[in-house]
Structure 1
């Protein structure tokens, strides 16, 4: 059972809802109202960077309406891999309060594009390629879920090895 000690929850990390913000902890709830403009500012700045990277990749690798949208697929899977890795890193090594909003919500949220995922599928159906649309929908969902898991698992293992290596 986690215990509240000086505004922090001690105990197993699996009890935390989020690695750096747990709304069950009064100190964490206060953090959300302490600097909302800064949080929104870093999310916006990160979102611009992520969206520009995504737009550049999509412009570099266009696809016809009936073709498989490889750029969007790759962007979403890569973004999910990085989100999984980021959450593992922030769980193992907590960072400042603006790191996760900037990188996770801003950069990677702006980079991944599940709205384009839906539009790409709709366009494929409208262009007469429902099979491509269905394959794309399924592959993206499976790929994204596996990528988050893989990013978290690989980063967690690497961090654990680094910790063991540093302890020697």
Structure 2
């Protein structure tokens, strides 16, 4: 039998992730806000993978909260609407900082697991 709580956990996590993303957008407008949430989300997701063992908590945090907090679609649209040089800079910064944050999050996860 499927765990009936899973959709609720994902939905509640999604609510908190989306509202948090909106709040960051109010504080840090434009592509800087998108970069901030994507880098922070990469770090936290990697740490969650290393630390959290509960499948329910992982679904709440990773699938619900963090997938709603981070935003690839906004990144793609912001990048596609820029001139080539700023677009390439945005892609480079997003991927370089995102991977660095993920590696740092994995290290934190290993240390606290």
Report the TM-score when normalising by structure 1.
0.63
Q: Which has the higher helix share?
A: 2
Q: Deviations over 1:7-28 (max 9, x none)?
A: xxxxxxxxxxxxxxxxxxxxxx
Distance 1:61 1:104 in 2: 23
Match of 2:27 in 1: 60
Q: Deviations over 1:73-110 (max 9, x none)?
A: 011000100001111102xxx22x31010011111111
Which structure's CA Rg is the greater one?
Answer: 1
State the Cα RMSD in Å: 1.5
Structure 1, gaps ≥5 residues long: 1-32, 64-68, 161-168
Q: Are 2:62 and 1:104 aligned?
A: yes
Picking from 102, 106, 113, the partner of 1:148 is 102
Query: Within 5 A, what are the aligned runs for 1:69-88?
Result: 69-88=31-50
Runs of 4+ in 1 over 4 A off after TM superposition: none
Deviation, structure 1 residue 114: 0.7
Distance 1:43 1:62 in 2: 27
Structure 2, gaps ≥5 residues long: none
Match of 1:114 in 2: 72
Q: Are 2:2 and 1:34 aligned?
A: yes
| Partner secondary structure for residue 146 of structure 1 | helix
| Partner secondary structure for residue 82 of structure 1 | helix
Distance 2:59 2:108 in 1: 22
Distance 1:74 1:111 in 2: 10
Report the TM-score when normalising by structure 2.
0.91
Aligned residue pairs, count: 113
| Partner secondary structure for residue 34 of structure 1 | coil
| Partner secondary structure for residue 98 of structure 1 | helix
